[in-house]
Structure 1
Amino acid sequence: MTADPARRLRHALAVSVPVEDPAWRDALEAVPRELFLGEAVFRPSGVQWEPVHRRTVGQEEWLRLVYQDTTWVTQIEGVTAVDAPGPMAGRPTSSSTLPSLIMRMLDLAGIRDGDRVLEIGTGTGYSTALLCHRLGDKNVYSVEYDPGLAAAAADHIHTAGHSPTLLTGDGLAGHRGGAEYDAIVATCAVRYIPPAWLHQVRDGGTITTTISGWMLASGLIRLTVHDDGTATGRFTGDRIGYMLARPHERPPRPTFRRRPGQTRPARFDPGLLDDWTAQFVAQLAAPSAELMTTSDGVILVDVATGSQAWTEITGDGWQVHQHGPLRLWDAVEDCLTAWQEAGAPPQSAFGMTVNHDGTQHIWLSEPTGPSWNLPV
């Protein structure tokens, strides 16, 4: 490596990441990502997460890891990589997002010099520092839900030489003190657009986020806020996903036991839900259900009502069993039918409207087309 290996690796990363606005490439070259990953990260190891420590792999290998266009998980179920006693099982609860996805979000948001931006989810602080480099510290506001992560991110950001407005709390409430914003960018997913975001963005401003749910299907969207109090936009079709915002996370799943109920032939092969858009469509139909896959197809469990649906293969195809007050598979099949009758278009054919009365819905093809309400 050269005398300044980090700078060389930053340059290589910056030129490899596609950007529409070259100012973001300048930010990638300027902000040292190694300042934001601490002393350890998690990497997948089978069904577990293995902590990787800088002192163990050495500085040269550590920098190679840092400057990969990779998401590095930094916390599992509230435990940071540096504190992990060894490999861990569980769900990631914080990460340093891959730089190309950060660039995609910031490009999509249409941020320009002089804009005031509210970031939801400070995380490690890396994307916050990128915003600061581009916009100046006074124009950047960032909210982090987890107090421990917020404190660590503040240290990282200040070490990098920046002093934006950093807040600890529920990012779904935004931050009225900095409003009105030109853009809100969320580095977490949400089940619906929080009303506070809509109220804190100027007319013509944007909200860029991923809409997800308890099936963990997601779609990236930029919404434009209008002067009548509404917001509209189309999904991009990018196959990306963020962790759900903590207040939107799934509650504990009811224990699944096969219960007696209605049985009938299934109209669709459950393997269809392996398709990115089809799973997104299924989630619209059953927004409070979780999805599990088995050798016999799929299981749906509705967290709110305990309703269940599960499939199994028979000699003639597939059959579905349903139990509880909601017929989950009926709703999923109806939604999939509407999608297929429209030609099974990609996710980019879907759009979203947030109404001034707080209701929100996702529509297919046009705002007047088939639509599904979000669980506001």
Structure 2
Amino acid sequence: MSDHEQLLQQLIDSMTASGSLRTEPWKHAAAAVPRHEFLRGGFFRVVPGSSPTAWAPVRQDEDGWLSACYADESLVTQIANTIQPTDIRGEIMREPTSSSTLPSLVLRMLEDLQVQPGMKVLEIGTGTGYSTAVLCARLGSGNVTSIEYDEGIAQRAREALGRLGTSPTLLTGDGLAGDTEGAPYDRIIATCAVRTVPAAWLEQTRPGGQILTTIGGWLNASELVRLTVHGDGTASGPVLGGQVSFMLARPHLPPPLGLLPDLSKGTEREAIVGADVLTDWTSRFVAQFAVPTAQHLKLQQNQRTEDVLVDVDTGSWAALYEEADRWVVRQGGPEVLWDTVEEHLGRWYAAGTPAVEEATVRVTTEAQTLHW
């Protein structure tokens, strides 16, 4: 048995023990796909102790490259939308824009997809092509279509899949628009997060089919959701939990904040709920459904720290600060952002703050709502 085969078997054993890999068909599919083939361009590692975070390239066949390919961790493969590990020497301090997702999450999501032989699957976000290859090993290449937004990433995935003799339908373009020509699909799975589930995905999934996606937002909390599409074009389904985090689809990234509104004006009152709720993942996830186009930042004002929500689209804002063991909120603009947050969180509190796994998401072409 070669080095990579031993490492792959160890990874499969680990994913099985953790419960990410649960059924024999997916074990066989995972065993058929050598992950290192999709990382031949290398990856970036965090430079220990760096602040702000710096990244250093690890190239193919360097010490630690192969073992890292079979570690159960995400590996950053692109920085700042264009920079590959082979492009630089030394370190870079820019934001990651593409990665190879940790294998246990890939397999957990594929298990959660609930596929059956013969089903047609549309994957949003080809990335390195690893998850695409596992899907093909399970369903056959003819039943898998994958869309990648970035042309360079798409080409590298195409080459990696070609080396394995795997030939799904690979498209380059906006995955949020789906694939009209191949529709309807039995399953859609997204390997990027979305702020709202695109109407095109609902239209391109057959009634009774499912969409598995991570719903995130600009307050930086996200969860995996499995939606069943109904005959009327709506969809609903459970939040699967686990605090699953993916990079947002590029068209769903927040707009620049630009010039902030005058935060000294507005109407002030004592807050029912303080800004400390924004430090909790689940509270933020609930709040995102209340104010889906708001962004959060901290500012130093009047010799104190204020938590500020700003909605660039409407110009609405809310600023909160703590004073004498109470929270005060000041709000301006056409929408009262913090009132809406308090109302949504109030319903969650009234229900006993249930875990997200007890929640259901409902999606129409006009709205996306969270129910407990």
The range that moved more, 17-26 or 216-225, is: 17-26
Structure-2 residue corresponding to 1:369: none
Give the counterpart of 1:346 among 340, 345, 355.
355
Structure-2 residue corresponding to 1:314: 323
Q: CA deviation digits over 1:266-312, x for unaligned, max 9? A: 22232222222100111111111112357836221212133332222
SS in structure 1 at match of 2:181: helix
TM-score (structure 1 length as normaliser) = 0.90
Structure-1 residue corresponding to 2:291: 286
Give the counterpart of 2:367 among 346, 353, 360.
360
Structure-2 residue corresponding to 1:371: none
CA, structure 1 residues 345+5, in 2 after alignment: closer, same or farther (shift >3 Å)? same
Structure 1 distance, partners of 2:250, 2:241, is 24
- How far apart are residue 95 of structure 1 and its match? 0.7
Runs (5+) with no aligned partner, structure 1? 366-376
The range that moved more, 83-92 or 332-341, is: 83-92
Give the partner amino acid of 1:282.
Answer: A
Is the Cα contact below 8 Å between 2:221 and 2:243 reproduced in 1?
Answer: no
Structure-2 residue corresponding to 1:335: 344
Give the counterpart of 1:253 among 257, 261, 266.
257
TM-score (structure 2 length as normaliser) = 0.90
Q: CA deviation digits over 1:248-272, x for unaligned, max 9? A: 1111123447621222222223222
Give the partner amino acid of 1:24.
Answer: W
Is the Cα contact below 8 Å between 2:195 and 2:217 reproduced in 1?
Answer: yes
CA, structure 1 residues 209+134, in 2 after alignment: closer, same or farther (shift >3 Å)? same
Q: CA deviation digits over 1:46-65, x for unaligned, max 9? A: 3324123235842xx11111
Runs (5+) with no aligned partner, structure 2? none
Equivalent runs, 1:171-250 vs 2, <5 Å: 171-250=175-254
Structure 1 distance, partners of 2:60, 2:37, is 15
Is 1:326 aligned with 2:335?
yes
Is the Cα contact below 8 Å between 2:59 and 2:86 reproduced in 1?
Answer: no
Structure-1 residue corresponding to 2:10: 12
**Equivalent residues, number:** 359
Equivalent runs, 1:65-214 vs 2, <5 Å: 65-78=68-81, 79-214=83-218
Structure-2 residue corresponding to 1:39: 41
RMSD (Å) for aligned C-alpha atoms? 2.0
Q: CA deviation digits over 1:139-172, x for unaligned, max 9? A: 1100001111111111111112201100001111
- How far apart are residue 44 of structure 1 and its match? 2.7
Identity %: 45
Structure 1 distance, partners of 2:229, 2:123, is 17
Is the Cα contact below 8 Å between 1:254 and 1:306 reproduced in 2?
Answer: no
CA, structure 1 residues 51+310, in 2 after alignment: closer, same or farther (shift >3 Å)? same
- How far apart are residue 130 of structure 1 and its match? 0.6
- How far apart are residue 30 of structure 1 and its match? 1.8
Give the counterpart of 2:309 among 296, 300, 307.
300
Q: CA deviation digits over 1:82-128, x for unaligned, max 9? A: 22454333332111011111111111110122211110000111100
Structure 1 distance, partners of 2:312, 2:40, is 37
Is the Cα contact below 8 Å between 1:350 and 1:362 reproduced in 2?
Answer: no
